Amino acid sequence: MLLSLKKIPASGTRLLLLAIPLLFPLLSWAIHPNAAGFRAAVVKVDITPEKHQMLLGYGARKSTGVYDKIYHRIVVMDDGKTQFVLVSTDICLVSPSEYDKVAAKLKKQLGIDPVNFWWNFTHTHSAPEVGPPGLPAIFLGDRYQHQFDTEYTEMVERKLLDGIQEARQKLVPARLGVGWGLSQANINRRAKDVDGKAYLGMNPDGPVDRRIGLLRLDREDGSPLALVSNYAIHGTVMSGSNLLISGDAPGVVAEYVEQKLGAPLLFINGAAGNLAPIYSVYPSPQAGKLSQFRVLLGDKVLEANKSITATTSDITLKAAGLIVETPRKPELGWTDDLKNYTRTTKAGVNLVRLPVRFLQINDDIAIWSAPLELFCEISNEIRDRSPFPYTFYFGYGNGWLGYLLTAEEMTHGGYEVTVSPYTPAAAKDLTDSVVNYLQGKK
């Protein structure tokens, strides 16, 4: 429609002429929604409790103090069309029902769809419980003879929501880079005796994943905004004898890299179901040589960061999800708060409904995530079969639905089998579903 200035009074004409320069940017954005370009922000929020807390991981025990602080680290990325939230929290895990609760609040308060909200956990075994136990109560009922601390849980939730809101308000033009690194800070922990039985220990000949997957976010001027480091390692340098709150190896590594880099590091664990730190289950940080992980893993993250020489502001984000259904162990019970994560077929077979998330960044980066303690052979195979040159698995994502082992490893028994709801079919069901999805995107 053409507008004739002749029909508008002189005063109105002047107002219109003044308004036109203000309207053009809005019209341009409406026609080209990516015109604003790629933006990002990062926020780090302290969630260290003031009171003693029940710690998750190992047997039930209460903290007596703090060795190092624990945090939410929050990154928001915005390509002008999709806004994506990634969170790394220094706790062991939560029930998927706790994720659902927070995701619903986030959708209501900030309009962020759950598919664009990933909440990952570093899996430190020296941090407080958050929310109801969920599936672990089925396997380890004796451990949960107490109520979780609702006051601390509400604080963790509130600080997460406030932190995401703050990050959205701090979005700045940004650039993104990607790369690989390598660290030998982990080891297969499925030790086997002559009878073939598996035990928690060390297996230097067992499968392992020592790759570091790295995303780097820079400001427009090239200064670092944030790092996202993906590495598979249990947060078990310290044993159940330790009663001091700590981020364990992931937390120590994150703090060290941040001091060196001058920007926050989101430590995102990988397929660590059968991978322990090379120093594992010691009674104290000193006995476990916790500080050495600054060199063993922290310096390797910094080296990988230096190898990223190219970044771009031309970014497209595509988030999606699918449900993988696989049979659960016969006669295994379930918890009421996880009723959306199971169903029974007409033939009476109980299934686990496993939510898998995907984030595609441009044409070369594919990230997938699941609420699993996954064995590394599975993520290694998926990465090898993926058509994307950078394929990362973000573990402990949006909750915890148990260990998922390969069919071969299930025959050896061991602790992980006792806390898995899955049958030997699960590894193939998951692998085929994820690979088919990734291959369908190329």
- Beta carbons of 376 and 208 less than 8 angstroms apart: yes
SS3 content of the chain, % helix, strand, coil (to 5): 30, 30, 40
The amino acid sitting at 348 is: G
Q: How many residues does the chain have?
A: 442
CA dihedral (190, 194, 195, 196) in degrees, to 10, reads 30
For residue 129, give both structure tokens. Answer: 């419980």
- Beta carbons of 211 and 433 less than 8 angstroms apart: no
412 is in an annotated binding site: no
- Hey, is 79 helix, strand or coil? coil
Element (H, E) at 214: strand 211-219
- Beta carbons of 46 and 71 less than 8 angstroms apart: yes
How many whole angstroms from its chain centre is CA 258? Answer: 18
Distance CA 20, CA 391 (A): 46
234 is in an annotated binding site: yes
- Beta carbons of 248 and 266 less than 8 angstroms apart: no
Distance CA 234, CA 92 (A): 10
Element (H, E) at 252: helix 248-261
- Beta carbons of 90 and 127 less than 8 angstroms apart: yes
Tracing tokens 């915890």 back to the chain, one arrives at 400
**What is the DSSP code (8-state) at residue 390?**
E
Distance CA 229, CA 73 (A): 12
Binding residues: 123, 234
Binding residues for Zn(2+): 123, 234
